[in-house]
Structure 1
Amino acid sequence: MQNQTGKTALLILDIQNGIVSQFNNTTTILSKISNLINAARQNHIFVIFVRVGFDKGYPEINPQNKFFSAIPALDRMTILDKETQIHESISPKANEPIITKYRFSAFSGSNLELILRSQQINTLILSGISTSGVVLSTVREAADKDFILKVISDACFDRDPEVHRILTEKIFPNQAEVLTSNDWIQSLNSTNDYKIEK
């Protein structure tokens, strides 16, 4: 991986086959995410892909976990399954990490924080599925870890539009700047704050 001296990373959260397929507006989702990735790459911003997946036998899943304990019986979501792979329309480049997590937060059981600290990144741009799952959990934990946060409201998606609205309008602004993808992309054209020196 090339040496990254910048301060910002774009996190692509849970845009994997098995999760994207649960939404009807797949084309819209992937288009929004793709636009963010292209803008980040053009401006030398570190792109990190995060997915949820488990080892064969599900040793990471505690039977007491109300949400994840049902997964082993379904025999799904191992790290080798197609549904845990990043959607092919936004394939990561060779120097863009794919982080595997084991709970909702992107930090849970993963090496994300190690990579961020090693690359001297202190600002995170968040996008992904779902707003009430990985985005909410990652915002909370990243804020507690003192990262500067920006949530791209129209590049986060949830099956409940009202929950999405409440989170982006009332909850996230307490810990993050919330803006649209167009606003963020336009800001890249007017400032060098995000750029990584090569």
Structure 2
Amino acid sequence: MKAALLAMHYQNDVLHVDGKVRVGVAADDPARPRLIASAARLIAGARANGVLVIFVRIAFAPGYADCLRNCTLFRRVAETGAVLDGEWGAEFYEELAPLPGEAIVTHKRNNPFWASGLEDVVRSTGASRLYVAGIATNHVVEHGARHASDLGYEVAVVADACNTAQAHLHAASLETLAMLADVMNVDEAVAQMEAMP
């Protein structure tokens, strides 16, 4: 079985203590270093075992003309000046950034597959199993896992490489996703990757 990893929204505005987006990690959350360490172990484990890593980012053009403001989440993004393409906030968090040659996909909705080309990139890997991780669990991770499941992929959500600013929302999202995906931790995911032929 061939696999790929979707590493989603590990960006400065989403993950850095000075970032502008607070739906994934609260500003004073002591879990931040654990999340970063878990995500780093997952990405390193994938690379070491030949599992292609696809880095998914959200970013909008200057002026937010491409930001659909039909919901509170995206209205707040535009109001705060978050994840603006070309700015520090939209860049990948340094410890979790892609290496030269690794795939990067930019999207502009909750669903990372929507009008982003992600489906084509995933298909080009030949993977039948997708490991999914990122921030926030109840937004991009859940949307991505649901869409990947609907496309027919075997999906694994790597819980300790995901987070929300409110722990109960993280737990609720994982409970829901357990009907569509395998929910596991980084050590379990990397062990699976190591066992793949």
Note the residue ranges of structure 2 that are not aligned, 5 or more in a row: 17-21
Are 1:181 and 2:186 matched, yes or no?
Answer: yes
Say if 2:5 is the partner of 1:15.
Answer: no
| TM-score, with length taken from structure 2 | 0.87
SS in 2 for 1:67: helix
In percent, how many aligned pairs have the same letter? 26
* Deviation by residue 1:23-79 (Cα, 9 ceiling, x = unmatched): 323221111011011111110110011111111222222343332134334333211
Unaligned ranges ≥5, structure 1: 1-5, 194-198
Q: What is the Cα deviation at residue 143 of structure 1?
A: 1.3
1:62 matched residue in structure 2: 68
Matched residue of 1:49: which SS?
strand
Change in 2 beyond 3 A, CA 1:147/1:84? same
Q: 2:45 aligns with which of 39, 58, 62?
A: 39
Report the residue type matching 1:124 in the other structure: L
Q: How many residues align?
A: 186
What SS does the corresponding residue of 1:79 show, helix, strand or coil? coil
In structure 1, give the amino acid aligned to 2:193: L
Whole-angstrom distance in 1 between the partners of 2:70 and 2:168: 29
Rounded Cα–Cα distance in structure 1 between residues aligned with 2:37 and 2:6 = 16
The TM-score, its normalising length taken from structure 1, stands at: 0.86
1:137 aligns with 2:158: no
Inter-partner Cα distance in structure 2 for 1:77 and 1:100: 11
Is 1:109 equivalent to 2:104 in the alignment?
no
The amino acid that maps onto 1:192 is M
Query: In 2 relative to 1, CA 160–118 (structure 1 residues): closer, same or farther, beyond 3 Å?
Result: same
Q: What CA deviation, in whole Å up to 9, does each residue of 1:101-157 have, x standing for no partner?
A: 101121123111111112222211011111111111111111111111001111111
